[in-house]
């Protein structure tokens, strides 16, 4: 019988205890790239209320291709922001849930989402009025 042990918490690299997003060599930019992805924002927001199965998550988010959602989920799992739990049953059941690190991100992303919903009208009006100089 094979048992799966929880992976130990990754240790912080001494030089990465705190990043500097304005340093072009700092990996903080990779993190910002992940956070700036609309699917990341939507997945973290959808999972903030609790674990969901793939089809439930896809329905909650809406208009996301299965391939794109799968890629996003794998990236978030790799980055330690969510976990994937496979239940041994027929058919197999897979649940996705945000980790404590992912949960710490849900509040800032909720603020960003609220801001976007509140100001979408102004942004769209500005886009309509914008005429690039020629």
Per the structure, the count of domains in the chain is 1
CATH value at residue 68: 1.10.10.10
Q: Average pLDDT for residues 99-117, to the nearest whole number?
A: 95
Tens digit of each residue's pLDDT (9 = 90 or more) over 55-77: 999 999 999 999 999 999 999 99
- In a domain, residue 134? The reply is no
- Structural domain for 59, as ranges: 25-129
Question: What is the model's pLDDT at position 4?
Answer: 39
Q: What is the pLDDT of residue 2?
A: 34
Q: In this predicted structure, what is the pLDDT of residue 13?
A: 58
- 2 within a domain of the structure (yes/no): no
| DSSP-assigned letter for residue 131 | -
* Single pTM value for the model: 0.81
In a domain, 90, yes or no: yes
Q: Is the pLDDT of residue 123 over 60?
A: yes
Compute the mean pLDDT over every residue in the chain, rounded to the nearest whole number: 88
């Amino acid at each position: 019988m094979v048992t799966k042990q929880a992976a130990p918490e990754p240790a912080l690299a001494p030089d990465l205890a705190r990043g500097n997003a304005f340093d072009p060599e700092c990996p903080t930019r990779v993190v910002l790239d992940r956070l700036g992805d609309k699917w990341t924002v939507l997945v973290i927001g959808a999972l903030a209320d609790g674990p969901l199965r793939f089809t439930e998550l896809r329905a909650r988010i809406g208009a996301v291709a299965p391939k794109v959602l799968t890629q996003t989920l794998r990236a978030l799992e790799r980055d330690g922001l969510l976990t994937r739990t496979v239940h041994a049953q027929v058919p197999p059941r897979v649940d996705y849930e945000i980790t404590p690190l992912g949960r710490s991100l849900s509040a800032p992303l909720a603020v960003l989402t609220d801001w976007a919903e509140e100001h979408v009208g102004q942004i769209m009006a500005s886009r309509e009025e914008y005429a690039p100089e020629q």
